[in-house]
Amino acid sequence: MSTNRAALAEAKNKQSSATSHRAVDIRLARADQSATGRLRRLTDLAAALRREAQVLARDKAFADESNRLQNFDFSKGIDFYGEVERFETALIRLALDQTDGNQARAAALLGLRATTLNSKIKLYNIDY
């Protein structure tokens, strides 16, 4: 009788091990099928993080500029044209960063004609 029990137990172990291997195979197949979806979600997440980082950098630049303006020493006077140039240069660089250097799209973003933006880039010697 003990021989029968041992044989039954061994057969049961083989069956459960085969069943667990099938379950693992099924899970692996499902994972393989959804790998494309996971990759797409990961790519979308990376793009969203990049956009968020750009927005944060832009917000920081404006906050820094605002703090600088609040700390002006008006008793010494202000170089108006120098400040306008500095501000325009910063805006143009931000627009070029946002458009990966595409001047036509940066001009549209700033509400300028492309030729105006190009002349300002040359005037202020903006490297991008």
At 122 the pLDDT is: 95
What pTM does this model have? 0.51
Total structural domains within the chain: 1
Cα 127 to Cα 87: distance, rounded to the nearest angstrom: 15
- Burial class from Cβ neighbours inside 10 Å (0-12, 13-18, 19+) for residue 96 reads buried
Provide the domain limits for residue 114. Answer: 72-128
Q: Please indicate, yes or no, if residue 88 is contained in any of the structural domains.
A: yes
Q: Please indicate, yes or no, if residue 12 is contained in any of the structural domains.
A: no
Which pLDDT tens digit goes with each residue over 41-73? 889 998 889 888 878 877 887 777 777 777 777
- CATH number, domain of 118, equals 1.10.10.60
In the chain, which stretches have pLDDT less than 70? 1-33
